[in-house]
Amino acid sequence: MELELIRQQLHKRYIEPTKKKREKYIGVEIEMPIVNLSKEAVDFEVVHEITKRFISHFEFSIVGTDDEGNIFSAQSAVNGDILSYDCSYNNLELSFGREQNLFAIQNRFSEYYDFLQNEFKEYNYTLTGMGVNPYRNYNHNVPIPNGRYRMLFHHLNSYRKYIDLPMHFHHYPEYGTFSSASQVQLDVEYDRLALTLNTFSRLEPIKALLFSNSVLLGEEESTLCCRDMFWENSTHGINPHNVGMYDCEFESVDDILSYIETTSIYCVERDGKYINFAPIRLDEYFNRKSVTGEYFDNGIYRKIEIEPRFEDLEYLRTFKFIDLTFRGTVEFRSVCCQPISDSLCVAAFHVGLMDRLDELSALLESDRVIYHHGYNSGELRKILIKRDLPEFIDKDKLYTLAKQIVDLAYDGLVNRNHGEEKLLEPLYQRINSQTNPAKNMLDLKNSGVKLKDIIAEYAKNET
């Protein structure tokens, strides 16, 4: 296929939706680990029972069941909210139908969360606000038994066969079963695409400073956000353009399309079967006559030849910190699950800054606190997810910069006139204390506070 035809299809899928006149909405997804306080594996039968109770209580409709008939996704016909399980039944996700007011989301989140906590309490379980399940080593870290997650687990476990690649793979291919995120989707306008991606890419190091909350307790405690490593040093990162930062300046929509062309596809679906193959760049994939993949069939994986087609773009899944979606939105996905009481500060931060995009861009372009020291934004992100900062960064000036950024978000939220700026209070507290949830957790642990008590603290819903 000609490159121009590929570009036309990418433009149709990712760019044209941003040209449509529409109201601006907010989408929020919050994942949370399920913790068995008895220090035993989470019993999935308990999870299935509580799912049924939730569906009955809130009158959700079943959307998805796994190969064993268990519910992994249900949705409200009233507001579009979804209860689901991400990758495994150890990780519960609440996704909210699009809204224009953050308090509408916060109120429903609080209602759902309080109900779930009350039900889990009966079994000595809890949800909590941590980016890594603190009791992951007790759990059965297995995928949901369905086509998509079985394929994903198979893909991530295939890292051992890439012995000739000049990259380091971590040894946590099951990380999706114990890592939890807080994601935000915001509508974006066509003529602001490049500015949005460039500016929020420069912001990523400061987001690491403020939001880090995923520590591999007892294994790697110098890294405050191991979430980055999970994706970048897995098979998702074989093509580095599929993960992490952009680390380039987009001058136009054509630049953005050129970047998307360099990303890789690693799965498609045919006749209801997910087919996995080694990642292939899009421009190469669509110029092949056939691709050899494998699919799961009654306990074994069988080879299959498929012919690429443009409809396969539906299965292009990148894991960038900032992703342009087919909905005409940008998805911000680099933030860990936050302490429950602080859950909506993530969305508030992004919503406020989107309203002050020009001012944010100017502030970051003129910065000399972290930038202009020989490091790009991706390298700075890797520096600022660490517990200890290098000498070239003045800590007080760093937090002054962070406050300037949060102040911009505050002004943006004030301009929306919903009172949402109060949701940023946790960030001001972190700046004043020069900490973040991961640092705070480690400080509590090192001062002798028991892990079960930290879990309970991060599980509090004081909204």
Domain definitions of the chain by residue range: 3-263+318-459
Rounded distance between C-alpha atoms, residue 322 and residue 330, angstroms: 7
Rounded distance between C-alpha atoms, residue 106 and residue 81, angstroms: 12
pLDDT in tens, 338-366: 999 999 999 999 999 999 999 999 999 99
pLDDT in tens, 56-104: 999 999 999 999 999 999 999 999 999 999 999 999 999 999 999 999 9
> pLDDT higher for 23 or 44?
44
Strand order in the sheet with 300-306: 264-270, 273-281, 291-297, 300-306
pLDDT in tens, 239-259: 999 999 998 999 999 999 999
What is the mean predicted confidence (pLDDT) over 157-167? 92
What is the mean predicted confidence (pLDDT) over 370-376? 96
Instruction: State pTM to two decimals.
Output: 0.96
Closest among 103, 253, 240, 92 to 180, alpha carbons compared: 92
Give pLDDT, residue 1.
Answer: 56
What distances in angstroms separate CA 256 from CA 10, 194, 248, 259, one per listed residue? 10, 7, 10, 5
Q: What is the third-level CATH fold of 3-263+318-459?
A: Creatine Kinase; Chain A, domain 2 (3.30.590)
pLDDT higher than threshold 80 for residue 3: no
**Token representation of residue 78:** 């009233």
Residue 49 has phi, psi (to 5 degrees) of -65, -45
The structure tokens 């079943």 sit at 62
Residue 44 has phi, psi (to 5 degrees) of -65, -25
Give pLDDT, residue 346.
Answer: 98
**Mean pLDDT over the full length of the chain:** 96
Residue 85 has phi, psi (to 5 degrees) of -120, 125
Give pLDDT, residue 5.
Answer: 86
pLDDT in tens, 104-118: 999 999 999 999 999
Using a 10 angstrom Cβ sphere, with 0-12 exposed, 13-18 middle and 19 or more buried, the burial of residue 27 is: buried
Give pLDDT, residue 4.
Answer: 82
Alpha helices in 215-322 (DSSP H): 227-232, 253-261, 282-285
